[in-house]
Amino acid sequence: MAKPISDITFTPTVKAIQIRKGSRGSYSKVEQSGGWNREVTDGLEGFLADLDMFYLGTANAEGQPYVQYRGGSPGFLKVVDPHTLAFADFSRNRQYISLGNLSENPNAFIFLMDYANSRRIKVWGTAKVVEEDEELL
């Protein structure tokens, strides 16, 4: 049996704290009903079409996290297929922290914010840097 997608954030330790603090029941119901989406839905694709920014979280090989703002024209975060998102990353501050982190650790997190409508979406997965790919360019 596959682990619930919620196990990414709701580790056994987190679940124990949720039980102790009284919030585990509501999250357990979500898990029992199938949990969160594992694929890009039409709704998410529409949300991305209007989005002009997001936050990209990466971590180095030692697990030290780093979060970086990414911005562009609305819709710059593209849907490639039901399991893949892509965006052009233009070097601005030339620190290359996210690039370095992804070369050591492919785990990534995207935090999508729509401040005007008080909506947010969290995406966990793996990431890779693709350079000089004519099809993507």
Q: Let me know the angle formed at the C-alpha of 113 by 109 and 114, rounded to the nearest 5 degrees.
A: 160
Residues whose CB is less than 8 angstroms from the CB of residue 50 and which lie 6 or more positions away in sequence, other chains included: 74, 75, 114
pLDDT above 70 as % of the chain:
92
Least confident of 13-17, 65-69, 79-83, 93-97: 93-97
76 is a domain residue: yes
Please state, in angstroms and rounded to a whole number, the distance separating the CA atoms of residues 92 and 113: 21
Q: Which domain holds residue 31?
A: 1-36
Please state, in angstroms and rounded to a whole number, the distance separating the CA atoms of residues 53 and 7: 27
* One domain, residues 20 and 47: no
* One domain, residues 32 and 46: no
Write the CA distances from 95 to 3, 56, 100, integer angstroms: 37, 15, 9
pLDDT category of residue 28 using cuts at 50, 70 and 90: confident
Mean pLDDT of the chain: 88
- Residue 119: how many CA atoms within 13 Å on its side-chain side? 11
Pairwise pLDDT comparison (28 vs 68), residue with the higher score: 68
pLDDT at 91: 67
133 is a domain residue: no
pLDDT at 1: 43
* One domain, residues 59 and 89: yes
Give the CATH number for residue 65. 2.30.110.10
* One domain, residues 72 and 94: yes
Q: Is the pLDDT of residue 81 over 90?
A: yes
For the entire predicted model, the pTM comes to: 0.83
